[in-house]
């Protein structure tokens, strides 16, 4: 599944144009993070550009943070036209074949993140994505209009009229679940097991490198959490100011009650 995320968009025409492309080259979701105009989805320009899309406003989710928009995603890509120092930006033409089967399957939820028309994605926003990607253009003009960029990406990922049905098996880890696993590993292995500040820094950096980008399944996370709990940990997402996925709330509530009972 594809999830298009527009961060701080300023133009209702662009949002409407992206919604039209989502309908053309879906199945896909459209999430909008902190739009500049609260009335963007009722603006005449939005209505003109999204004309013909059924239940258009009900199909767009508006949220206050990029973290919320990406929480359920398992694979995230930030699109940027600007150089980012030493950060590597993949050429979309060389990256798309890897992404296409993920975006059109039922196991992964691929987040496609686009920044504001004025300044794109900030470094902090791009850091929340697993991959930084550029859409190559001619030297005459090196950036694309927001709606055009999203349309190019959705078109190149489009395989047909429907998504592949999930046939069971392992589920890929969401961004929220991945973050909990990383914080849990750091809390135990870096802060409790590693000896000395230098070792702690090395272990924490290694966890960030390995677990930020590696493809991880739910069974991988379960195995690591079981190992950490065997070492005495009872951490839950709330201990790291993280919200649990809705599917895991009952399990985490039970864990918190058990922890409170033992401490009391």
Q: Please answer whether residues 264 and 221 qualify as being in contact, where contact means their C-beta atoms are separated by less than 8 angstroms.
A: no
Strand order, beta sheet including 131-134? 60-63, 28-33, 2-7, 110-114, 75-79, 131-134, 90-91
**At 109, phi and psi to the nearest 5?**
-120, 110
Q: Which CATH class is domain 2-157?
A: alpha beta
Calpha distance 51→100 (Å, rounded) = 27
Q: Where are the domains of the chain?
A: 2-157, 175-263
- The predicted pLDDT at position 169 comes to 56
Helix (H) or strand (E) holding 23: helix 12-24
List the chain residues with pLDDT less than 50: 86, 162-167, 246-248, 250-251
C-alpha distance across the termini of the chain, in Å: 45
**At 17, phi and psi to the nearest 5?**
-65, -40
- The predicted pLDDT at position 167 comes to 46
Q: Please answer whether residues 95 and 137 qualify as being in contact, where contact means their C-beta atoms are separated by less than 8 angstroms.
A: no
pLDDT in tens, 141-175: 878 899 999 999 999 999 875 444 444 556 778 88
- The predicted pLDDT at position 151 comes to 94
- The predicted pLDDT at position 256 comes to 57
């Amino acid at each position: 599944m594809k999830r298009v995320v527009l961060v701080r968009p300023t133009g209702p025409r662009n949002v409407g144009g992206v919604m039209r492309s989502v309908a053309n080259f879906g199945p896909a979701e459209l999430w909008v993070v902190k739009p500049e105009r609260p009335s963007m989805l009722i603006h005449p320009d939005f209505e003109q550009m999204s004309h013909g899309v059924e239940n258009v406003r009900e199909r767009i989710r508006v949220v206050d943070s990029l973290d919320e928009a990406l929480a359920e995603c398992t694979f995230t890509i930030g699109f940027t036209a600007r150089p980012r120092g030493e950060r590597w930006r993949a050429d979309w033409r060389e990256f798309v074949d890897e992404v296409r089967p993920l975006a059109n399957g039922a196991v992964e939820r691929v987040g496609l993140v686009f920044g504001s028309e004025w300044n794109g994605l900030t470094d902090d926003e791009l850091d929340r994505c697993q991959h930084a990607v550029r859409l190559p253009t001619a030297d005459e003009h090196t950036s694309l209009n927001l709606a055009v960029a999203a349309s190019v990406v959705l078109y190149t990922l489009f395989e047909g009229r429907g998504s592949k049905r999930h046939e069971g098996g392992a589920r890929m880890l969401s961004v929220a679940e991945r973050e909990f696993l990383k914080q849990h590993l750091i809390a135990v292995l870096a802060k409790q097991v590693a000896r000395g500040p230098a070792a702690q820094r090395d272990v924490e950096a290694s966890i960030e490198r390995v677990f930020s980008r590696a493809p991880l399944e739910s069974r991988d996370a379960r195995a690591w959490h079981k190992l950490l709990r065997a070492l005495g940990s009872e951490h839950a997402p709330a201990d790291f100011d993280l919200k649990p996925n809705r599917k895991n709330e009952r399990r985490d509530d039970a864990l918190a009650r058990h922890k409170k009972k033992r401490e009391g």
